[in-house]
Amino acid sequence: MITRYSSLKKNILEVLKKHSYIIDFQVDSDKSFITVTLKKDVFSHLKRISKPGQRIYVQSKEIPKPLSGYGLVIVSTPRGVVDGKEAKRLGVGGELICEVW
């Protein structure tokens, strides 16, 4: 899969790679495109939570656990884009970007 480059997309892909939802991604030399190598049949659910018309912000204690902890929520925090468990460990909240399982 090929998509346009943005630093937010790159950070989200780093979190997905860390949790083995994708195989790898590569940024083009002039930072125009990102090429993503997906795993087959890994995503059964990928939902965008915050949208341009409605941003969803949560505190660290309110970060949801999708699928009773088996899923993953990605949060944009002041310390960078991290998964929900890492945000709780750091004690920071932020904007909910998406949930994956």
Place of tokens 């088996």: 70
Residue 87's identity, in one-letter code, is: A
- Of 101, 98, 95, give the one whose Cα is nearest residue 60: 95
> Percent of the chain at pLDDT above 70?
100
The answer, yes or no, to whether residue 40 has pLDDT greater than 90, is no
What are the tens digits of pLDDT across the range 49-98?
999 999 999 999 999 999 998 999 999 999 999 999 999 999 999 999 99
Alpha carbons 16 and 24: distance in angstroms, whole number:
9
Rounded to two decimals, the pTM is: 0.91
CATH of the domain at 79: 3.30.1490.10
Structural domain range at position 19: 2-100
For residue 8, give the H/E element and its range: helix 7-18
pLDDT band at 100 (very low <50, low <70, confident <90, very high): very high
Q: What letter represents residue 8's amino acid? A: L
**What's the number of domains the chain is made of?**
1
